[in-house]
Amino acid sequence: MHTAVIDGYVFEGHIPVEDINSFLAKKPKLAGLAVPGMPMGSPGMEYGNQKDAYNVLGFTKSGMTMVYNKHNQ
């Protein structure tokens, strides 16, 4: 996934579907989720056994960000 709007939330980048599903179930007071860059091993970025650690960020409409989930493969 690169960019999607679901139930009014914005999702940007290679976000694991499990994070999207948990976010939609919780309905937090955030604008959406993002994965900056294209970390190796994130969904759609698989390359053999190479996997980078990366964070899924939550963000507000005013631009504040926070770590929503960590992926430390």
Mean pLDDT along residues 18-26: 97
Give me the chain's average pLDDT, please: 93
Residues of the chain with pLDDT > 70: what percent? 97
pLDDT of residue 47: 87
Mean pLDDT along residues 25-43: 93
- Per residue in 38-69, pLDDT (tens digit) is 988 888 888 888 899 999 999 999 999 999 99
Tokens of 65: 């960000």
3-state SS, residue 7: coil
* C-alpha span between 31 and 48 (Å, rounded): 33
Tokens of 22: 């948990």
